[in-house]
């Protein structure tokens, strides 16, 4: 049976958190951990949505006139899959308006690679799984409706996805995770008002990175709301600190252009300190106690350590110009029972293709 399969990478923000929402240039890395989406043509009464590992059940839907989808809201799966169902309804209608009716289909989503399995449950690692799903789902729908492969960065796709993304975050998100999932590789991202610039860049070959799960999930939307409230409450202090954060981002890009790993690591460390200062000023725990301990241990070994993303938990980014320093740090992390991994890079960004699929098998093409 023919089906459409789409893959989009998760992301790790390297520098520029928060300041990117105010026009600073930020850097992000597309990871070799992907969200996967499969769309399989089916009978009209077999349309359904499934999402591993969030939900073990499927959620039924029907195709309605004018490109609308109707959902079985009485299903026990509705609570877990409502957000994805709402996104699918939005993207389905846009694709229907562009290409017409594709016929009924089933949707399978798998974000297992962007989660950490624990004894209690699967836990989001903070790798931008929601944005990776949105990018893969949009590409899969365009491939299904239009019949052609979809791949790589499209500014039309980014614009199309930014609207529901920013609505979900009350207009506060920058969209860097969407752009990273679309583009792949390492990107420099800047959004000023409605203008977005995305450029592929190259990390120094001697830069070594490590991502550490801090053991606590964070709420990006809550922290961004606190950030916005601080900007209104204390605009002078906010303006001064944002200027320092912006300068740090610019120094980081300059180090990148020179392929100077040591200078880039220094800017990562400096930006982490600024994030900690900002958290204190805005009344939010951007640098948690475990993050502070990681920073202390990293400093002692000549390693930069900072939150990757909004902070408040999720991931810590460790960076060094000497891989041997990270090896020492991994020993300490192992003793503490903290999960760490070296981030591999996805160089292609989103890809969606038609392929042959055996419905009796749960395997993916890649």
Residue 168 within any structural domain of the chain: yes
pLDDT at residue number 169: 67
Query: Is residue 146, in this structure, part of any structural domain at all?
Result: yes
Instruction: Return the structure tokens found at 202.
Output: 């190259």
Instruction: Note whether 98 and 30 are same-domain residues.
Output: yes
Alpha helices, DSSP H, located in the chain: 78-99, 129-146, 155-168, 176-183, 220-233, 235-257, 261-282, 289-300, 323-336
What is the average pLDDT across 111-125? Answer: 85
pLDDT range class, residue 360, cuts 50, 70, 90? low
Reported as a pLDDT band with limits 50, 70 and 90, residue 358 is confident
Spatial distance between the Cα atoms of 11 and 23, rounded to a whole number of angstroms: 20
**Average of per-residue pLDDT values in the chain:** 93
Domain assignment present for residue 361? The answer is: no
**pLDDT of res. 119:** 67
User: Of 90, 271, 282, 69, which is closest to residue 168 (Cα–Cα)?
Assistant: 90
Domain, as residue range, for 61: 2-201+346-356
Do 66 and 8 touch, CB atoms closer than 8 A?
no
CA distance 79 to 55: 9
According to DSSP, the residues that pair with 141 across neighbouring strands are: none
Burial class (CB in 10 A: 0-12, 13-18, 19+), 53: middle
What sign does the dihedral 181-344-199-304 (CA atoms) show?
positive
Contacts of 194 (CB under 8 A, 6+ apart): none
- Statement: residue 140 has pLDDT above 90: yes
Residues 160 and 267 in one domain: no
Asked if 213 and 199 touch (Cβ cutoff 8 Å), the reply is no
* Same-domain pairing of 241 and 168: no
Same domain, 268 and 251: yes
Query: Could you tell me if residue 182 is inside a domain?
Result: yes
Tokens representing residue 277 in the block: 């200062």
Taking only the tens place, the pLDDT of each residue in 237-294 is: 999 999 999 999 999 999 999 999 999 999 999 999 999 999 999 999 999 999 999 9
Q: In sequence order, what are the residues at sequence separation of 6 or more whose Cβ sits closer than 8 angstroms to the Cβ of residue 266?
A: 255, 304
Q: Please state, in angstroms and rounded to a whole number, the distance separating the CA atoms of residues 137 and 153.
A: 14
361, pLDDT greater than 90:
no
| CB of 316 closer than 8 Å to CB of 267 | no
Let me know: does 269 contact 46? Beta carbons within 8 Å.
no
Q: What is the chain's length?
A: 366
- For the chain, what is the domain count? 2
Same domain, 6 and 38: yes
Residue 72 sits in the same domain as residue 117: yes
Q: What angle do CA 144, 148, 154 make, to 5 degrees?
A: 100
Q: What percent of the chain has pLDDT over 70?
A: 97
Q: Is residue 233 part of a domain?
A: yes
Q: Are residues 196 and 166 in the same domain?
A: yes
Does 30 map to a domain?
yes
Euclidean distance between CA atoms 81 and 309, whole angstroms: 24
Question: Which of 16-25, 117-126, 166-175 shows the lowest mean pLDDT across its residues?
Answer: 166-175
Asked whether residue 154 falls in the same domain as residue 189, the answer is yes
User: Does residue 96 share a domain with residue 10?
Assistant: yes
pLDDT at 126 over 80: yes
| pTM score, whole prediction | 0.94
Mean pLDDT for the stretch of residues 196-210: 97
> For residue 308, what is the enclosing H or E element?
strand 304-308
Task: Judge if 20 and 160 occupy the same domain.
Answer: yes
- Residues 29-78 have pLDDT tens digits of 999 999 999 999 999 999 999 999 989 899 999 999 999 999 999 999 99
**114 belongs to a structural domain:** yes
* Residues 68 and 185 reside in one and the same domain: yes
- State the Cα–Cα distance between residues 142 and 41, nearest whole angstrom: 14
Whichever domain contains 33, its CATH number is 3.30.230.10
Q: With 80 as the cut, is the pLDDT of residue 120 above it?
A: no
Q: What is the pLDDT of residue 308?
A: 97
Q: What angle do CA 193, 196, 199 make, to 5 degrees?
A: 150
Do 248 and 175 lie in a common domain? no
What's 243's domain CATH number? Answer: 3.30.70.890
Q: What is the pLDDT of residue 54?
A: 86
44 within 8 A of 72, measured Cβ to Cβ:
no
Q: Is the peptide bond before 53 cis (omega within 30 degrees of 0)?
A: yes
Q: Is 366 domain-assigned?
A: no
């Amino acid at each position: 049976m023919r089906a459409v399969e789409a893959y989009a990478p998760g992301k790790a923000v390297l520098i520029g958190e928060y300041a990117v929402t105010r026009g600073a240039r930020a850097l992000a890395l597309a990871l070799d951990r992907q969200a996967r989406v499969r769309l399989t043509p089916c009978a009209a009464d077999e349309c359904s949505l499934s999402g591993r590992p969030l939900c073990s059940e499927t959620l039924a839907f029907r195709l309605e006139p004018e490109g609308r989808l109707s959902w079985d809201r009485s299903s026990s799966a509705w609570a877990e899959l409502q957000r994805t169902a709402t996104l699918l309804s939005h993207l389905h209608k846009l694709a229907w308006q562009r290409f017409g009716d594709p016929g009924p289909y089933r949707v399978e989503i798998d974000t297992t690679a962007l989660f950490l399995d624990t004894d209690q449950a699967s836990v989001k690692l903070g790798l931008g799984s929601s944005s990776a799903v949105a990018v893969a789902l949009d590409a899969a729908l365009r491939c299904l409706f239009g019949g052609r492969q979809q791949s790589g960065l499209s500014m039309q796709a980014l614009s199309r996805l930014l609207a529901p993304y920013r609505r979900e975050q009350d207009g506060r998100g920058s969209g860097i995770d969407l752009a990273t999932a679309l583009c792949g590789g390492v990107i420099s991202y800047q959004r000023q008002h409605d203008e977005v610039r995305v450029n592929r860049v190259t990390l120094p070959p001697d830069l070594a990175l490590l991502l550490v799960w801090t053991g606590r999930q964070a709420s990006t939307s809550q922290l961004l709301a606190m950030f916005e409230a601080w900007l209104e409450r204390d605009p002078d202090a906010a303006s001064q600190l944002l200027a320092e954060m912006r300068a740090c981002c610019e120094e980081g890009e300059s180090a990148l252009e020179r392929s100077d790993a040591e200078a880039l690591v220094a800017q990562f460390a400096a930006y982490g300190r600024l994030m900690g200062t900002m958290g204190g000023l805005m009344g939010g725990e951007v640098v948690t106690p475990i993050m502070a301990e990681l920073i202390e241990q990293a400093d002692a070994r000549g390693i930069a350590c900072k939150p990757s993303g909004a902070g408040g938990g999720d991931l810590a980014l460790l960076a060094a110009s000497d891989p041997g320093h990270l090896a020492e740090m991994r020993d300490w992390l192992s003793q503490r029972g903290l999960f760490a991994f070296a981030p591999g890079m996805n160089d292609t960004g989103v890809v969606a293709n038609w392929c042959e699929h055996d419905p009796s098998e749960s395997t993916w093409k890649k």
